A and B are shown apart, each in its own frame.
Chain A
Amino acid sequence: MLKQKININNDIVNTQEAVVQIEHLKKSFNGNSVLKDINMILSEGENVVILGKSGIGKSVLIKCIVGLIYPDSGSLKVFNKEIAEMNPRELNTLRTKVGFIFQGNALYDSMTVKENLEFPLRRNKTITDSHIIEGLIVEALENVGLVDAIDKMPSELSGGMKKRIGLARTLILKPDIILYDEPTTGLDPLTSREISSLILNIQGKYKTSSIIISHDLNCAKITSNRMLILHEGVIRAEGKFDELKNSTDEWISSYFKTD
């Protein structure tokens, strides 16, 4: 039941357990139906990229996974537990295991970079030893290559740096699942490639499972083990990057046209 049925010829990923399981998920806002019938699985250790046009509901989908938005109906299980049935304490515990990178970074702009990273640690893990906290902060910043920025304010950072600090702030809690909302949008191709390989490194180093939302085909190519295409409220296509790219289906390959 937990094994993945699709893509039989893929790598080890498919024999892993599902960490996120979504079945018949529906969500509408004021009568405007955004997600109509979503079925998907995220397996342990896997990077899934979700493609889809702007405004199709990609952000809404991953916000449902962390309980920021509640679906109207359907089942949404994370680590085999239904989100809708969790009490606030359970939800909080879950949220420390699921990292979320916001589309707009959402850095706390009244705090320095260091305080931004310290905040989730201090509030969650009740670590009081400042040496340990310092060590974890430096480790997280080293991971994203921004140790120099430790005392800067978010307003002093460039777009790419903000993205990376956002990533570091998520990594510091050592999450098992990371949800990336358009991690490379608005960045130059070089920086965007750096971020993509960073995502890949994190997957290798911390054995995380990730959902990555992106319009950026290069990012999708580098990071994805599997891809989904979201269209009009349902997952319309699924497969590896190359499979989808070389698909004979006119509609699918239109997502991969560069000109």
Chain B
Amino acid sequence: MKLNIKKIFSKKAANENQDEFDFSRFKNIERFLNEIGGLSRFAGNFFCELFRPPYEHKEFLKQSYNIGLSTLPLIGITAFIMGLVLTLQSRPVMVEFGAESWLPGMVSVSIVREIGPVITALICAGKIGSGIGAELGSMRVTEQIDAMDVSGTNPMNYLVVTRVLATTFMIPILVFYSDAISFFGTYVAVNLHGFISFPLFINQAFDSLHYYDLFPATIKTYFFGFAIGIISCYKGYYSENGTEGVGKAANSAVVISSLAIFIIDLIAVQLSEIIHIFSM
């Protein structure tokens, strides 16, 4: 059921004068649309399989555990440095305006609303996305997915549903963890130039946070997780034959999910602006 744009265009081209138009330039557009179509169908299949038994709790927990375990140290270090650096960089400006006491609040808002979710999701896209892409890709190449198919075991249900659910539920948790560590980094940075007690710091930080900072920021992390999972599974599940295909699958899983994260972020920011305006 691939969108066969090439056929449509080549038919047109036969009718018109072929020299006037070079249809090969549509090749990329065709590939892009095919990709979008394939991905949408794949996501559709995912939702069909989601409610179909057997439910693989064990595999879901195993995947979630792996995702959490493999990214915990990396996210921890990155988040700490992020909080630290962000504070150190913003400090001179804030001091200039005599708004030093606003520093914890300002940094915490930017971490919770934007930097925490996006950086964490990007790290996960790199670490988890490439892992899923390569794993499913090599299972495809070594015919393991075919073997599941021919024994009637429904690999879509077993492999894809569990992994996508795992990323969807784990990324928000990881973002929460990352935000907490970033706060700690901020606290350390603030204390490098004077002393502020931890309760006071927390008080200042949370004073500037409102529910409309937290709520959209949390919701969008679920979408980040879903996008990473579904894109990486899609690339791996339909990886082309050969070892080269596995590399390509892992690579494009990372690239496309990173891109998707930014697009979702853009949409989320616009939507939350609108909702915020209407709710005032």
Contact = CB atoms under 8 A, between A and B. Distances in A.
Given A96-B152, A120-B151, A173-B151, A68 B54 contact: no
Contacts, number: 56
Interface residues of A, number: 25
Interface of A: 66, 68, 92-93, 95-96, 98-100, 102-104, 106-109, 119-120, 122-124, 126, 169-170, 173
B144 A109 contact: yes
Given A68-B149, A123-B54, A126-B54, A102 B154 contact: no
A100 B145 CA distance: 13
Contacts of B152: 92-93, 95-96, 120, 123-124
Given A95-B149, A107-B144, A119-B151, 12 more contacts: A68-B146, A93-B152, A95-B150, A100-B151, A103-B143, A104-B143, A119-B148, A120-B151, A123-B152, A123-B158, A169-B151, A173-B151
B143 A66 contact: no
A77 to B, nearest CB: 18
Nearest to A101: B147
A99 B153 CA distance: 13
Contacts of A106: 142-144, 146-147
Contacts of A98: 150
Chain B, interface residues (CB within 8 Å), range? 10 to 19
Contacts of B150: 66, 68, 95, 98, 100
B57 to A, nearest CB: 13
Contacts of B143: 102-104, 106
A56 to B, nearest CB: 18
B65 to A, nearest CB: 14
Which one of B139, B148, B153, B154 has the greatest number of beta carbons of chain A within 10 Å? B153
A104 B142 contact: yes
B131 to A, nearest CB: 12
